[in-house]
Structure 1
Amino acid sequence: MLPEEKDTMNLLMKLPLESLNLEAIAVVTNIYRIAQGLRNKMEREVLSEYGLSWTSFSILYDLWIAKQVETKKLALSAGVSKATVSNITNTLERKELCYRKVDPRDRRITYVTITDKGKQAMQELYPRFHKGETEIVSSLTIVEQKKISNLLRQVIRDNQF
């Protein structure tokens, strides 16, 4: 157990809960720690050089994969509000990495499209990002990585994340 886990468990054991699922707490807390650690490491070591936050990178990544995405879908994918997508898209547009286009059939729908400059930035950035991903899990074997991926996919499916 990590020292932080011990502190958490010691505190929670004092609460008047009927039943305390320590393993559930450990799983969720460690997923959160990994997510925050990954985000901080990538922003500091990779994304800052390109002037991107984690969320702006996530949006640009989605655009790189799909070429064009509706703002509502970008918000869902990044786990942020449409207003946040709008603010980030403004920044990405100023950097000429994407542009917005209103659907002529329904003016309430806006699509965001990656530009050639955005594609080029992702082609330069992603290998460095991927290097960071592999470093983070380098202490695990490929079999262990697959096992964790499968278990996390199960949680994602079961909770419709």
Structure 2
Amino acid sequence: MSKDTERALKLFIVLSRASKVILEEAHIPSNKYGLNPTEFAVLELLYHKGRQPIQKIGQKILLGSGSMTYVVDKLEKRGLLERVFCAEDKRITYMSITPEGVDLMTSIFPEHAENIESIMGSLTVEEQEIAISLIRKLGLSVKNLS
């Protein structure tokens, strides 16, 4: 095995392990409120971006349509989301966060943001900027391969 292959494999393992522990730590605040990572992602998107077509939500948080329906149904049953049917095009269904959902996110999000800042705080501001640039470059290059 070449040195380049060994280095690429090592980078892959380091990124994978770091991603796993970062994600586990990042989801602690939302877990305390009974939300799994996908449910939190849906609520967070609607909390910050407002009403969205259900298809766009799945695309933005990288979730398939079957899984998306399941997550939305669970959140709707909890009274955190509601379906809004498009009057102009019956094929489009929007999801909107309810006042209860807004209250929940208002409680969770500041703690979530502080937690993320703390997690990333082991890197200096300059290192964070470099990491953003390098990881974005890697992601875009992989996307262009397919």
TM exceeds 0.5?
yes
Quick one: which amino acid aligns to residue 50 of structure 2? Answer: K
* Distance (Å, rounded) in 1 between the aligned partners of 2:9 and 2:71: 33
Task: Go from structure 1 to structure 2 and tell me whether the alpha carbon gap of 1:20 and 1:144 turns closer, same or farther (over 3 Å shift).
Answer: closer
Name the SS for the 1:46 alignment partner: helix
Name the SS for the 1:101 alignment partner: strand
Quick one: which amino acid aligns to residue 49 of structure 1? Answer: K
* Distance (Å, rounded) in 1 between the aligned partners of 2:87 and 2:7: 51
The equivalences for 1:35-46 within 5 A come to 35-43=19-27, 45-46=28-29
Per the alignment, residue 102 of structure 2 pairs with 119
Q: Please say if 1:75 is aligned against 2:58.
A: yes
In structure 2, runs of 5+ residues without a counterpart are: none
How many residues are treated as equivalent by the alignment? 144
Shift of residue 81, structure 1, vs aligned partner: 0.8
1:158 to 133, 141, 146: 141
> Could you state the TM-score of these two structures normalised by the residue count of structure 2?
0.85
Q: Please say if 1:24 is aligned against 2:11.
A: no
* Distance (Å, rounded) in 1 between the aligned partners of 2:7 and 2:93: 43
Quick one: which amino acid aligns to residue 76 of structure 1? Answer: Q
Deviations along 1:113-141, whole A, 9 cap, x unmatched?
11122122112101111122122222211
Percent identity between the two aligned chains: 23
The runs of at least 4 consecutive aligned structure 1 residues that moved more than 3 Å come to: 156-161
Shift of residue 19, structure 1, vs aligned partner: 8.4
The equivalences for 1:53-92 within 5 A come to 53-92=36-75
Quick one: which amino acid aligns to residue 70 of structure 1? Answer: P
* Distance (Å, rounded) in 2 between the aligned partners of 1:31 and 1:100: 38
Shift of residue 155, structure 1, vs aligned partner: 2.7
Greater Rg over alpha carbons, structure = 1
* Distance (Å, rounded) in 1 between the aligned partners of 2:142 and 2:83: 32
> Could you state the TM-score of these two structures normalised by the residue count of structure 1?
0.78
Superposition RMSD on alpha carbons, in Å? 2.2
Per the alignment, residue 131 of structure 2 pairs with 148
1:94 to 69, 77, 85: 77
* Distance (Å, rounded) in 1 between the aligned partners of 2:92 and 2:141: 30
